[in-house]
Amino acid sequence: MKMGDYNPLSNWDVPITVVGAGPVGMLLALQLDRLGIPHLLAERNLHTTQWPKMDLTSTRSMEILRVLGLANEYRALEGSVDVDANFDCVFPTRVLGDGRKVLGEWKLPSVRAQMAEIRQNNDGSQPAEPGQRCTQIVFEAWVKDIVRTRTSCVQSRFGWTYVGHEETRDGIATTFVDQAGVTHVIRSKYLVACDGGGSRVRKAAGIKMIGGPMPLQLHLVHFKSQELARELDGRRFWHAFPIHGGFLIDQDGRDTFTAHFAVDQLPPGPIDPYELVYRVLGGFDQKHAIKIDEILVHSNWNPNFAVAECYHSESLKVFLAGDAAHRNPPHGGYGMNSGVADAFDLGWRLAALLKGYGGDLLLRSYDLERRPMMIKALERSHRHAMEHVKFHTMLPADRTILEQETPEAEALRRQIRDFLTASGPDTIDRGVELDLRYHSPVIYQDGSPEREWSPRRYVPSTRPGSRVPHVFLRDGTTSIYDLFGREWTLVHFVDGDDDSSASEVFSTAADQLEFPLKRVILRDEPHARRIWERPLVLVRPDTHVAWRGTEEELARQDVLEILSVVSGNVPFSGYQPMSGVYVEEFKKLVAPFWSRDENANSQASIAGEDF
């Protein structure tokens, strides 16, 4: 490898190198910073994304931002959509123009209304936070500012491109080239690939993807139009899916929109972004021209559908997070949101190893826990994409019929409306988002039966491995999530003046093992106690249950052994690996577009980004 000029950083040693400062790399940086772990965050671009990709920060991502103390700040950002804006999806014959009929609607309440619902239904079934509409453009710029101005453990290097890495006996030597052509070799213990869908780190680590690009290419146009905003006044929506197959996203509740259209349905030749917008707004093959104030960006992009064969290298030195580990079409909004959860999850594991109390099983279980959740999300995303296909198969060859005032047309519209109503919104899969259940040797199971899992529904549970349920305490405003420590938390529910000393044994054992534990005694919280099912619950830094029990059970158990299991030093004796059937099922699903050509995964790279 050609070496550039000497740079003092060449001799730098840092525990973790993170490649890629997209949303996932930057969230990982914030999590590591919070846990006091110095690291290097290297990004090839000087700027954050200019592409309006993610437009929904999910309930789970918002919970994570709440734990990081950032949820309110994010909602209040200039570019975040107002808390009174709806999340409605409409299926019109055309977005603008006379004769327009709405074939179906998925009505979803605003953030304010969802917050009221969360307060009203304080039964553990709700997330700690509703989702938030906001583009990735705004999200990334905001997080970058935090990374640069409010952290003390992050060494950020924008303009550094990863070119390769080499595993050494005690770590990794990662090579970057900066924008002046200078080569930097960074030695670290761990390397994390947050370098997106075309991940060079993943390829260099020899980890393959299962799946690939879907046989569909779209062109997106991100634009501003005051006139469109005025035309839509009084009937604003979040997403519109007109019958021509294109779609329109209202990005900020003001004047910024994104139009998408399938490339193979456009006239051959260069794509005119203005014409594409008119086509998306109009019905059938007609265009509806409006005044566009500015075309911000436009490009082709490909939806992808894939998951890595493993989220880490065999050596346990290289880890994948975000799109480097999985890629899915926007349906359901599980792309960036799953990556945010990866980052939140991986950060504490690496910190545990570096602080000395964690064992290798914590690293191995990152894949065992996160990948099955991602496969569930991908399957659900596939289902949502197929529902759109079904919607289109219901449309008549002569689509103008859909706007006619005849009994036949009305019957057809009713049939389509019924289908869409039954199909339901694709962004409220509470099971996928909240019923996250981990199975691994670092979960101390208690023998309780596992409830059936449903993608749509979340039934609160503290069964070990589960995400802990959110519940407001007696004061009506404090979420139990707000009491967690930065790392581990033992929640102990105590009645009245009852003695809380039973849980002291945890603090003593934690001190002995240098295991960072916050003990939270909750007195007279019978409602939360009922929802949490046990008086003692050990919560991991990622808000999942590691162990739970009663005072009597605790008296019979060896706390040192519990902590050794949950910290990944000793496997849980009753651990049963999950059957690999779910991976085989996934392989069948992606078989039609699994090219097995690793280069195919980065073919849609454009303007310095991998879509």
- Kindly state whether residue 24 participates in binding ligand FAD, applying the rule CB under 6 A: yes
What span, in angstroms and rounded, lies between the C-alpha atoms of 275 and 538? Answer: 57
Q: Which residue is nearest to ligand FAD (CB)?
A: 22
- Kindly state whether residue 345 participates in binding ligand FAD, applying the rule CB under 6 A: no
**Choice between 346 and 538, CB closer to ligand FAD:** 346
- Kindly state whether residue 33 participates in binding ligand FAD, applying the rule CB under 6 A: no
Contact 103, 166 (CB under 8 A): no
Stretch that binds ligand FAD, among 190-198, 271-279, 413-421, 435-443 (CB under 6 A): 190-198
What span, in angstroms and rounded, lies between the C-alpha atoms of 158 and 48? Answer: 10
Return the residue of 18, 21, 276, 522 that touches ligand FAD, per CB under 6 A: 21
Q: What minimum distance in Å lies between the beta carbon of 60 and ligand FAD?
A: 10
344: Cβ–Cβ under 8 A, 6 or more apart, which residues?
Answer: 27, 31, 64, 67, 542
How many chain residues are in contact with ligand FAD, going by CB under 6 A?
Answer: 37
Return the residue of 18, 56, 374, 420 that touches ligand FAD, per CB under 6 A: 56
Q: What minimum distance in Å lies between the beta carbon of 14 and ligand FAD?
A: 16
**Choice between 341 and 509, CB closer to ligand FAD:** 341
**Choice between 19 and 37, CB closer to ligand FAD:** 19
Q: Which helix (H) or strand (E) holds 340?
A: helix 335-355
**Choice between 223 and 611, CB closer to ligand FAD:** 611
- 360 in helix, strand or coil? helix
Return the residue of 63, 195, 250, 542 that touches ligand FAD, per CB under 6 A: 195
Stretch that binds ligand FAD, among 194-202, 351-359, 369-377, 483-491 (CB under 6 A): 194-202
DSSP letter at 121 equals T
**Choice between 184 and 492, CB closer to ligand FAD:** 184
DSSP letter at 193 equals E
Per the DSSP assignment, residues forming a β-bridge with 305 are 212
Q: Which helix (H) or strand (E) holds 384?
A: helix 360-393
What span, in angstroms and rounded, lies between the C-alpha atoms of 159 and 334? Answer: 28
What is the phi/psi pair of residue 533, to 5°? Answer: 70, -25
Q: Which of 425, 520, 504 is nearest to 87 (CA)?
A: 425
Q: Which helix (H) or strand (E) holds 185?
A: strand 183-193
What is the phi/psi pair of residue 266, to 5°? Answer: -95, 155
Per the DSSP assignment, residues forming a β-bridge with 310 are none
- Kindly state whether residue 376 participates in binding ligand FAD, applying the rule CB under 6 A: no
**Choice between 54 and 522, CB closer to ligand FAD:** 54
- Kindly state whether residue 207 participates in binding ligand FAD, applying the rule CB under 6 A: no
**Which segments of 131-271 does DSSP mark as H helices, in order?**
136-149, 200-204, 226-231
- Kindly state whether residue 135 participates in binding ligand FAD, applying the rule CB under 6 A: no
Q: Which of 543, 425, 472 is nearest to 116 (CA)?
A: 472
- Kindly state whether residue 211 participates in binding ligand FAD, applying the rule CB under 6 A: no
- 330 in helix, strand or coil? coil
**Choice between 52 and 124, CB closer to ligand FAD:** 52
Return the residue of 33, 55, 252, 403 that touches ligand FAD, per CB under 6 A: 55
- Kindly state whether residue 35 participates in binding ligand FAD, applying the rule CB under 6 A: no
Q: Which residues bind ligand FAD (CB under 6 A)?
A: 19-25, 42-45, 53-56, 136, 161-162, 194-197, 200, 301, 322-324, 330, 333-337, 339, 608, 610-611
